[in-house]
Chains A and B, each alone.
Chain A
Amino acid sequence: MFGIASTTDNALALLTEIGLTEESNTSQLRLLAQTDSRYLKDLKINVTNALNAETLNKKEVYLLAYAVAVNEKNEALQKAFSDFAMKEGASEKELAEVVSCTSLLNANNVYYRFRHFMHDEFYNNAQAGIRMSIMANPVLGKEFFELVSLAVSALNGCELCVTSHEKTLVAHGSSKQRIQDAIRLTAVMKSLSVLL
């Protein structure tokens, strides 16, 4: 417009936003950029807004995004968000705990989802028999560990896990706005991981 040509490559703009380069570009993103897709712009706005949630600090934002990347086995995003998290002061121990938490919750999500599907007395009373010692004294702090657990459970669609972790968080004093921001971040990161 106004005699000024616009030459922005929205795929690259999106990658830059999350600290990635052309190297991480994919055929899906290129297709969207070439067709000047409205969705690509929306996605970039969703990502920027989710990463700037007011109730989460930067370190928490990147650790949550890292958990999503681990859960989705997305290496480009794992690299991007672990780098960002470390820049914000996250220790290797904390990153390791996010990895452990995400992995453990994958076990729990499958196991408790089964229980919830069955509504059967035998399974309800049976011992899970899954070791969960990392839940005891998390270096991330109990509240944030729960928030990561909730995010992973929402990703993997376990109703019993989602409702339980949400309840624990609220009882712990977390605001619903914070929980909502964490889940929106999780949802948006998942949509990003589909294209990378």
Chain B
Amino acid sequence: MKNVVLSIGSAFPEFNKKAVVSIEKGKEFYDLSYEEIKNSGKWMVMFWWPKDFTFVCPTEIAEFNNHFQDFEDREAVLIGASTDSEFVHAAWRRDHEDLRNLKFPMLADTSKSLANELGILETEEKIAYRATFIVDPQGVIRWVSLYDLNVGRNVKEVLRVLDALQTDELCPCNWQKGEATLVA
């Protein structure tokens, strides 16, 4: 099988999937659609991990959670995802101390349709690589990183990239001679 990862400039695929947003009884699940995120006018940062209940994952997920406010400050919706079902997500969150207070939704791509469309499925087990996508408010993928199954990510690097993508120098002080003047 040849993996073709959806890359910079492509539109992020539509999706509508179950997500775990809480461990409170009756409030665990939420139908999460990409449309809702797009309508919010915010950026999206979606990060994937291979399997619930494994070792590297909780550290990394907890690290994303520690920086939840930093993503919110940057008007970015943070989503965690794997190909496990919503019930496995919920069980894992209840089971693991570091995951109980997660502030972002855990997306359940149980049919693997989204991971497949993104091109991030590992061939043997059909589980997702540690992929991270930054998507702008127009729904265009602006950054992709893809790590092998056992390599952890650096959340600060994700924030640095997000900052760089968002920081346009709008101040007229930065105009260079001959440049077009500020519009809109």
Chain A residues engaging chain B, CB cutoff 8 angstroms: 1-4, 6, 8, 10, 13, 38, 41, 44-45, 48-49
Contact = CB atoms under 8 A, between A and B. Distances in A.
Contact of B21 (A2, A8, A41): A2
A35 B174 CA distance: 29
A8 B105 contact: no
Interface in B23-43: 27, 30, 32, 36-37, 40
Contacts of A4: 21-22, 103
Contact of A2 (B74, B105, B163): B105
Contact of B27 (A1, A3, A38, A48): A3
B95 interface: no
B73 A2 contact: no
B73 A3 contact: no
A4 B104 CA distance: 9
A8 B72 contact: yes
Contacts of B69: 8, 13
B77 interface: yes
Contacts of B40: 1
A2 B32 contact: yes
Given A1-B36, A2-B19, A3-B30, 9 more contacts: A1-B37, A1-B40, A3-B21, A3-B22, A4-B21, A6-B72, A41-B73, A44-B73, A45-B74
Interface string B54-88: 00000000000000011011110100000000000
B32 to A, nearest CB: 6
A121 B50 CA distance: 74
A10 B74 CA distance: 12
Interface string B87-131: 000000000000000010100000000000000000000000000
B156 to A, nearest CB: 9
A38 B70 CA distance: 13
A172 to B, nearest CB: 28
Nearest to A45: B73
Nearest to A13: B69
A41 B77 CA distance: 15
A181 to B, nearest CB: 14
A191 to B, nearest CB: 13
19 contacts: A1-B37, A1-B40, A2-B19, A2-B21, A2-B30, A2-B36, A2-B105, A3-B21, A3-B27, A4-B21, A4-B22, A4-B103, A13-B69, A41-B73, A41-B74, A41-B75, A44-B73, A45-B70, A48-B70
A10 B72 CA distance: 11
Contacts of B73: 10, 41, 44-45
A3 B74 CA distance: 20
B22 A45 contact: no
Contacts of B77: 1
Contacts of A2: 19, 21, 30, 32, 36, 105
B161 to A, nearest CB: 13
A152 to B, nearest CB: 21
A128 to B, nearest CB: 32
Nearest to B74: A45
Contacts of B19: 2
